Amino acid sequence: MASVSPSQALLLAMILFALGLAGVLARRNLVFLLMSIEIMLNAAGLAFVVAGSRWHQPDGQILFILVLTLAASEVAVGLALILRIHQRNASLDADAAAKLKG
Amino acid sequence: MIVWLIGILVLGAAAAWLAERLHRDAPRWIALAALAAHFGVLVSIWTGASGGPWIANLQVPWIAELGISFHLALDGLTVLLLLLTEALGVVAVLASWREIESRVGLFHFNLLLTLAGVAGVFLALDLFLFFFSWEAMLVPMYFIIAVWGHERRIYASIKFFIFTQGSGLLMLLAILGLALAHRRATGTLTFDYFALLDTPLDPTTGFWLMLGFFIAFVVKLPAFPFHTWLPDAHTEAPTAGSVILAGVLLKTGAYGLLRFVVPLFPVAAHEIAPAAMWLGAIGVLYGAVLAFAQSDMKRLVAYSSVSHMGFVLLGVFAWNALALEGVVVQIVAHGLSTGALFIVVGFIQERLHTRDMRRMGGLASDVPRLAGLALTFAIASLGLPGLGNFVGEFLVLLGGFGVNRAATIVAACGLVTAVVYALTLVQRALHGGPREPRMIRDTSIRETAALGALVAALVWLGFYPQPLLDAAADGIGNLQNPASRIAAAAGPQSPPRASPARRGP
Amino acid sequence: MPPILWLIPGLPLFGFVALYLSAGRMPHRAAAAIGVGSIGLATLLAFAFAHWFLGASLPGDVYLETAWRWITIGGFDPAVAFRLDPLSLVMMLVVTFVGFLIHLYSAEFMAKDEGYGRFFAYMNLFVAAMLTLVLADNLLVLYAGWEGVGLASYLLIGFWYRDPANGAAARKAFILTRIGDTAFIIGLFLLFHELGTLDIATLMARAHETWATGSAVANAAAALLLAGALGKSAQLPLQTWLPDAMAGPTPVSALLHAATMVTAGVYLIARTHELFELAPAVEFTVAVIGAATLLLAACSALNQHDIKRILAYSTMSQIGYMFLALGVGAWTAAIFHFMTHAFFKALLFLAAGAVMMRLNDEHDIFRMGGLWRRMPVAFVSFLIGASSLAALPLVTAGFYSKDMILWGVWSSGPAGPGLWATGFVGAFITALYSFRAVFVMFFGDARRTPSGRYGWCIVAPLAVLSALALTGGFVNIPSALGNVNSFSDLLAPVLPARQEVTTASTTQAIVMAATSLLVLLGVYLAYLTYIQRAQVLRRIATSSPARALAGFWFGGWGFDTLYEHIFVRPFLALARLNRNDIVDACYGGLVVASRTLNRALSRTVTGRVRAYAAWVAVGSLAALAIALFLQ
C-alpha cells in the first residue's frame, strides 16, 4: 500500500479546513454552521494524526481522541443551544440571533 | 511610637465604622478622639526629641527581597504638616456634624483613612511606602466625593481619580526607574530615600525621572495647567471633603516637591526651575481671574486655591531659605484660611440651600456673625498683613525676587487680582440687600468656636510666625542639605557616613 | 518714659479687637466708650510722649522701641519696632488728636446708625493701622500699616453695605490703591535684595553709600515707592477712587480721605526722601505729578454739586501741593501743609457733615442756601475751614503752609518758577471753589429748613479744629512777616532744608503778596458770581465751550471712562470668556477623543457570529503572515 506523504495529507487537512471555514462564513443556517465547525475540527484532527505519524509519536493520535470528545460535547451543547434559539426566534438564521450587538 | 501616627488613624477608622451601630454620633466622637490621640502622640514624640534635625526615625524591613523597608521619619516640616492635618481633621469632623447624615460610620471611616494615608505620605521615607500611602489616601477620598458629594459628584470624583491616578502612574515609573538606576550604579536594589539621594544619574535620565515626580506633584498641588480637576472635586465634595482636599491633600503635592523632587534630582530641578516658577506665576494670575468669574461660591474658593498654590510652586523652585519658609507658612495659612472658607460655604449652603452667589446677598444683615467670620477669611485670603497668608506670600515673593525677578513680579500682580476676587465674594454673598426676607439662624456656639479658632490661628501666624518658622527651619535644613544629615537620622549606633556637599538649584 | 510707645497703636487695636469680638452686640454707650476712649487714651499718651521727647534731648533725636521680632530668617529680621523722631512725632500727634476729635464727633453723628459698634471697630482699626504706618521703624511694618489703612478704608467706604454702589466705590478704592501697593512691595523686594535690610534708617544710609545719584536702581526703587504713594494719596494716574470714596459716612471722609490716610503717600516720600534725592528724575516726576494733580483736581472741584465731592477734589488738589513740595525738596513745607490741611480739611468735612445731618442727609449744595442764620455753628466752622483752604492771607493756617510750599517751589532751581506758576493758578482756583461752596451753601435764598440741634460732641471738635485751622500756621511764619521757625527747626534733624534760603529777600515778599492778592481776587470772583450773580460771568459760564469743558471737568477729566475702557472691560471680558476654563476644555478634548474611539470600536461588535468568525480567520492569517514574514 503506497504510503501517503505527510505533505499531501496536510494539504487535504488544509482543504478540509478551508471548506469548513467557508461554510462557517457563508452559511446562515445554524445547523450548517455547526456542521462546518465539525469539518474544521476534523481537519485539525487529521493534521494532528499526520504530524503524529510523521514524528512516530502517539501524541497526535491522543490529541485526535481529545478533539473527537471535544467535538462530541460541542455538538451536544451546540444542538441544545440551536434548539433554544429555534424556539425563541422561530428561525435558524445565525444573523437573526445578533443579540450581543454593542 | 512613630508608627502610631499612622496606626491610630487606621484603628480609629475601623472603630468609627463599627461604632455606628452603637449610636449615630459615635463615629464623630471616635474620630475626634482618634485625632486627639494622634495629637498627643505627635506632641510626646516632638517634646521627647533629643535635638538633631530628624526628630524620630523608624526603619524595619518590609519586603526585603526588593529592598523595600517600612521607613518612617519625622522632622520639623513633617510635624507642622501633621499638626495642620490634625487641626483640619478636627474642623472637618465638626463641619460635617450636621451635613453628613447618611452612613455616618462609613463617612468617618473614609475620612480617617484619608488622613492616615496623608500621614503616611508625610512620614514615609521609603519611596515604595510613599507611593503606597499616596495611592491609599486617594481611594477613600474618591468615596467621600462620590458618595456624599453634591449634584455632579460622579463626574467630579472620576475626574479627580483619573488625574491623580494617572499622574501617580508616572511617579511609580519614575520611582522604579530611580531604584533601577541605583541598582545599576551600586548593585543593591533599594527604595530608601537616603540611599537614593546619592544615586548618580546621567542628565537625560535624571531629567525624565524628575519629570515623573514633578508631574505627579504639580497635578496634586495643583499647578496650571493641571488644575482642572480641582474646581470640580472641591465643588462637588461635601464640606469636610473640600476642607481635607484643600487643606491637606494639596499639601502633599507641595511636600513631594520639597522632599523628593529637588533633593533627589538637584541638577534636573535646577534645569526646570525657571519653567516651574513661571508656571507658578501664571497659576497665581490664572486662578485669580477664573475665581473672579465664578458665580458658584465654592468654585470661587476652589480657584483661589489654584492661585495660592501658584505661590507655593514659585517658592519651592526659588529654593532659598526665605522662599522655603514662605512656602511652609503659605501651606499652613492656606490650609487654615481656605479650609475656613469652605466651611463658611458649607454653612451658607446648609442655610440657604444654594451656593450660587447671585442668590445670596445681604448675609451681613441676616447672619452678622457668620458674615463677619467670612469677611475675615476673605481678607486673609487676599493677603492682608496681620494674617498668616501675608507672611507666606511675602516671604515667597521676597525669596523668589532674587532668583527670577520677572516671574516674581508677575506673581506679585496676583496681590491685586486676589483683592478683586475676594472682594467680589464679599460683595456678592455678604453685602447688598437681601432679595427676600429670610429667617436663617446665625452660627451656633460649636460653629463659631470652630471658625474662631481658625481666625485666632491665622492672626497668630500673621503677628508672630516665628515659632512656626523655627519649627520649619530644621526641616528646611534637611531639605536643603539632605545628604549631610543622614548620619544624624540613622541614630548613634550606625557608622557615620561621608557627607558630600550637594549642589542645590 | 517707660517703653510703652507700642501702646499708642496698641490701644486702638485693643479697641478694635474688643468691638470685633462683641460682633455688634454691644450697647451704643459701651461701643462709644471703647471706640472713643481707646483713641482718647492713645492721644493722651501721644502728648505725654511728645512732652517727654521734646524735653529729653535724645542722641540723634530718635527714640526706638522694639515690640517683638516679627520674622527672623537668616539675614532677614524685620522687627515690629516703633520709631519716634520729629517727623513721626508730628504725624502721630496729628493722627491721634484729629482722630480723637473725629471719633468724638462720630459718637453723636452716627448715633442713629444700626452699625454703631461696627463703625467704631473699623475706625479703631484704621487709627491703629495708621499709627503703625507712621511709627514704623522698618518698611515692612510700614507696609503692614499701609495695607491696614487700605482695608479700613475699604470697610468704611462700604460701611452702608446694603447699597451696591457703596460696595463698588469701596472696591474701587481698595483695588486702585492695591495696584500702587503692589508696586510698593516690589520696591521693598528690590531694596532688600540690593541693600540687605528694610530698616528705614539703615536703608537710607546704605543707599547713600552704595548708589550713585541718578543710578538706574535708585531710580527704579524710588519709582516703585512713588507708585505706592500715588495710589494711597490719590494722585495721577491712580486718583479716580477718591471722589467715589465719599460714599462712606462723613466722619470717615474727614479722617481717612482728607486728614490722614490719603497723606500716607506724602509721609512715605518724606520718610524716604534720601532715596528720592538719589533719584532726581523720579523726584522731578513727583513735582510734575503734584502740579498736574493740583490743577486737574482744582478744576474738577469747580463745578461739583455734591459738597463731599467738592471737598474730595480739593483734598486731591491739596495733596498735589504737598507732592509738589516733596518733588522740589521742600519736605518740611509738605509736612507743614499736611498738618494744617489735616486741621482745616477735617474741619470742613465735619462742618459739612453737621450741615447735612440737619438737612436730612442733603449733599447737593444748590439745595441748601441761606443757612448761615439757621446754623451759625456750622457756618462759622465751614467759613473758617474754607478760608484756611483758600489760604486767606495772614489770619489762616493754610496761608502759611501754602506760602511755604510756593516759596520753596519758586526758589528750587531752574524749573521752579514754571512749577510755581501751576501752584499759583491753583491757589486762585482753590479760593474760587471754596468760596463758591460757602456762598452757595450759606447765602442766598433758604431752600430747606433744618431740624434738630447739635450736642457738645459735635460742637467741641468743630470749635477746636476751627481754632487750629486759624492758628495752626503760626508755628512757622516766613521771614517777611516775623520769622518764626519752630516747625522747621523741629523737623530739621529729619528733614534738613535742602538749600539755604536767601534771607528775607524782597522777592519772597513780592511772591507772597502776589499770591495773596490772587486769592482775594478768587474770593471776589466767587462773590460776583454767586452772590451778585453778575450777568457777564453767567453768560460765560453758560456758553457752549464752557459747558463742554465743565462737563469734562465734572467727570474728573474722563479718567474713569478711560480706565473703564482700557482696564476694566478687557478684564471683565477676559474673565467672562474664560469662565469655564479653556484648559479644562483641552482635557475635555481628551474625553471627546476617547469617546469617539469608543464609539468607533463598539461599532465592530455586531453580534453576528459569522462576522466574528471572519475576523478570527483574518486575524489568524495576519498573525501567520507576520510570523512567516519576520522569519
Output the pTM of the full model: 0.86
Judged by a CB distance cut-off of 8 A, whether residue C189 touches chain B is: yes
Question: A24 contacts in C (CB within 8 Å)?
Answer: 610, 613
What pLDDT is stored for residue B228 in this prediction?
Answer: 87
- Given this model, what pLDDT does residue B175 score? 92
| Nearest residue in A to C618, CA atom | A21
Grid look-up 514633578 returns: B214
From chain C, pick out residues whose CB is under 8 angstroms from the CB of B427: 164, 167-168, 171
Q: What's the whole-number mean pLDDT along residues C264-290?
A: 90
Q: For C552-590, how does the pLDDT look when each residue is reduced to its tens digit (9 = 90+)?
A: 777 778 788 888 888 888 888 888 887 777 888 888 888
Range from A10-19, B326-335, C29-38, C52-61 carrying the lowest mean pLDDT: C52-61
Whether the per-residue pLDDT at C202 is higher than 80: the answer is yes
B500 falls within a domain? no
Residue B215 lies in a domain: yes
Count of Cβ atoms closer than 10 Å to residue B181 Cβ: 18
Residues in chain C closer than 8 A to A95 (CB atoms): 608, 610
- Does residue B430 register a pLDDT over 90? no
The answer to whether C250 and C334 have CB atoms below 8 angstroms apart is no
Contact B141, B153 (CB under 8 A): no
- Nearest CA-CA partner of B159 in B91, B218, B101, B235: B235
Instruction: Read off the pLDDT of residues C481-503 as tens digits, 9 standing for 90 and up.
Output: 777 787 888 887 887 776 655 55
Q: Do C607 and A102 touch (CB under 8 A)?
A: yes
The mean of the pLDDT values for chain C is 86
In a domain? residue A55: yes
Share of chain C above pLDDT 90, in %: 27
Note whether residue A102 is domain-resident. no
pLDDT of residue A65: 93
Is residue B505 a part of any domain in this protein? no
> Nearest C-alpha of chain B: how many angstroms from C549?
34
| C617 neighbourhood in chain A, CB within 8 Å | 21, 25
Task: Let me know if residue A11 belongs to a domain.
Answer: yes
- Does the distance separating the beta carbons of C606 and A98 come in below 8 Å? yes
pLDDT level of residue B62 (50, 70, 90 thresholds): confident
Quote the domain boundaries for residue B78. Answer: 4-490
Question: Average pLDDT in the B190-216 region?
Answer: 88
The pLDDT of residue A47 is 92
CA distance A67 to B352: 73
The CA-atom distances, in angstroms, between C409 and each of C127, C340, C413, C415 are 32, 18, 8, 9
Specify the pLDDT at position B503. Answer: 40
- Is A99 within a domain? no
The pLDDT, as a whole number, for residue C500 is: 53
Look at residue B486 in the predicted model and tell me its pLDDT: 42
Q: List, as ranges, residues 610-629 from C with C-beta within 8 Å of A.
A: 610, 613-614, 617
State the pLDDT at residue B55: 80
Q: H/E/C letters for each residue in C27-77?
A: CHHHHHHHHHHHHHHHHHHHHHHHHHHHHCCCHHHCEEEEEEECCCECCEC
> Cβ–Cβ of C607/A33 closer than 8 Å?
no
Confidence class of residue B334 from pLDDT cuts 50, 70 and 90? very high
Cell matching residue B264: 533627589
Q: Is the pLDDT of residue B120 over 90?
A: yes
A33 with C610: Cβ contact below 8 A? yes
Residue B452 CA to chain centroid, in angstroms?
Answer: 21
Would B56 be classed as within a structural domain? Answer: yes
Residue C579: phi and psi, rounded to 5, are: -55, -40
DSSP, collapsed to helix, strand or coil, labels residue A3 as coil
CA atoms within 13 A on the CB side of C468: 22
Per-residue pLDDT at B489: 42
Q: What is the mean pLDDT of residues C74-86?
A: 87
pLDDT per residue over C521-545, tens digit each?
Answer: 888 888 888 887 777 777 777 777 7
- Give the CA radius of gyration of chain B: 22
Residue C547 has pLDDT above 80, yes or no: no
Q: Identify the pLDDT of residue B196.
A: 86
Q: Whole-angstrom Cα distance, residue B273 to residue B262?
A: 10
Beta-carbon separation of B466 and C70 below 8 A: yes
Read off the pLDDT of residues B122-153 as tens digits, 9 standing for 90 and up. Answer: 999 899 999 999 999 999 999 999 899 888 88
C residues 565-584 near B, CB within 8 Å? 571, 574-576, 578-579, 581, 583-584
Per-residue model confidence (pLDDT) at position C499: 61
Asked if C161 lies within 8 A of B398 by C-beta distance, the reply is: no
Where does the pLDDT of residue B377 fall: very low under 50, low under 70, confident under 90, or very high at 90 and above? very high
From the list C116, C109, C265, the residue with the least C-alpha distance to C183 is C265
pLDDT at C370 over 90: no
Is B355 within a domain?
yes
Q: What's the total number of domains in chain A?
A: 1
Whether the per-residue pLDDT at B501 is higher than 90: the answer is no
Looking at residue A40, which CATH number applies to its domain? 1.10.287.3510
Cα B260 from Cα B257, distance rounded (Å): 6
B412 to C193: CB separation less than 8 angstroms, yes or no: no
The chains in contact with chain B, meaning 3 or more Cβ pairs closer than 8 Å, are: C
Place of cell 536703608: C203
* Predicted pLDDT of residue B188: 86
* Residue A68 falls inside a structural domain: yes
Q: How confident is the model at residue C99 (pLDDT cuts 50, 70, 90)?
A: very high
With respect to residue B504, please indicate whether it lies within any of the assigned structural domains.
Answer: no
Reply yes or no on whether the pLDDT at B504 is more than 50.
Answer: no
Average confidence (pLDDT) over C85-113: 90
The pLDDT value recorded for residue B484 is 46
B398–C178: do the CB atoms touch at under 8 Å? no
pLDDT digits (tens, 9 = 90+) for B460-478: 999 999 888 888 888 888 7
Q: Between chain A and chain C, how many beta carbons pairs sit less than 8 Å apart? A: 33
* B225, B385, B402 member nearest C193 (Cβ): B402
State the total domains in chain B.
1
Report if residue A2 sits inside a domain.
no
- What pLDDT band is residue A100 in, cutting at 50, 70 and 90? low
pLDDT at position B333 over 90: yes
In order, the DSSP letters of C224-250 are HHHHHHHHHTT-TTS-THHHHGGGS-H
d(CA C329, CA B25): 71
pLDDT at position B395 is 92
DSSP-assigned letters across all residues of C316-341: HHHHHHHHHHHHTT-HHHHHHHHHHH
Query: Does residue A95 lie in a domain region?
Result: no
Write out the residue range of the structural domain in which residue A56 sits: 7-90
Average pLDDT over residues B339-356: 88
Q: What is the pLDDT of residue A16?
A: 94
Report yes or no on A82 lying in a domain.
yes
Handedness of CA B420, B422, B423, B429 (dihedral sign): positive
| Secondary structure (3-state) at B438 | coil
Nearest to B215 by CA among B270, B262, B255, B170: B170
Grid coordinates standing for B500? 558630600
Question: What is the reported pLDDT for B490?
Answer: 42
Confidence of residue B505 (pLDDT cuts 50, 70, 90): very low
Q: Which residues of C touch A97 (CB under 8 A)?
A: 607, 609
Look-up: residue for cell 454707650?
Answer: C29
Which C residues in the span 583-602 are in contact with A, Cβ-Cβ below 8 Å?
602
Per residue in C142-196, pLDDT (tens digit) is 999 999 999 999 999 988 888 888 888 999 999 989 999 999 999 999 999 888 8
